[in-house]
Amino acid sequence: MKLKIFLYISVYIFLSCSNKQEENDKNSVKTENDERTKKVYSYSVGLHFLNDYAAFVSSNPGGDVNVWLEKRYDVTEAFKKEVKRVLSEARKEDPEMGLGFDPILNAQDCPESFVIHSSDGNYLILKGKDWSDFKVSLKLVHVKGKTLVDGSGIINLPAKMKTIE
């Protein structure tokens, strides 16, 4: 009788441990998949933003970037303010020419669309779809569960991320 009880207890303990290990393995896989999904979503926010911007620039030469940015919900307020500041200071220094290049792209011209080139933590590097030498860095941040663009081109980026080779 004692042997049966011992066997029942042993089997119960073994099955309990086995189930917990399976549950831990499932949670581990779920967490890894969740992280991958978050990254893919984050990257798609940046990609969508820059492709929309390229479309805006090509269809509205000389259009007001600040007006376009004010309608965006995928960028931070700090990003909007910095673009406005950079463009305003450039117009004060040279009212006719302004900055002379696009601060969001860090260039005068740009491809029609972008694809993901690589990522480095919170930085996403995009390249021209049909212009692979053209690269732009974006800084992505997470605010209240949403991914937002906080930097692009020369806006809110460290020097090493402004020019990508």
Please give the domain boundaries of the chain with CATH numbers for all domains.
32-162 (3.10.450)
Tell me whether residue 2 is exposed, middle or buried, using C-beta atoms within 10 angstroms of its C-beta: 0 to 12, 13 to 18, 19 or more.
Answer: exposed
Question: What per-residue confidence (pLDDT) applies to 91?
Answer: 86
**Tens-of-pLDDT digits for all 165 residues of the chain?**
555 555 455 555 655 555 555 555 555 444 555 565 556 667 899 999 999 999 999 888 878 999 999 999 999 999 999 999 999 998 888 777 777 889 999 888 888 999 999 987 779 999 999 988 999 999 999 999 899 999 999 999 988 887 766
Whether 114 and 129 have beta carbons less than 8 Å apart is answered as yes
**CA distance linking residue 134 with residue 45, whole number of Å:** 19
CB atoms within 10 A of CB 32: 10
- pLDDT for position 14: 56
pTM: 0.75
Rg (CA), the chain: 25
Q: Residue 100, by phi and psi: left (phi above 0), alpha (psi -120 to 50) or beta? A: left
- Which pLDDT does position 30 carry in this prediction? 47
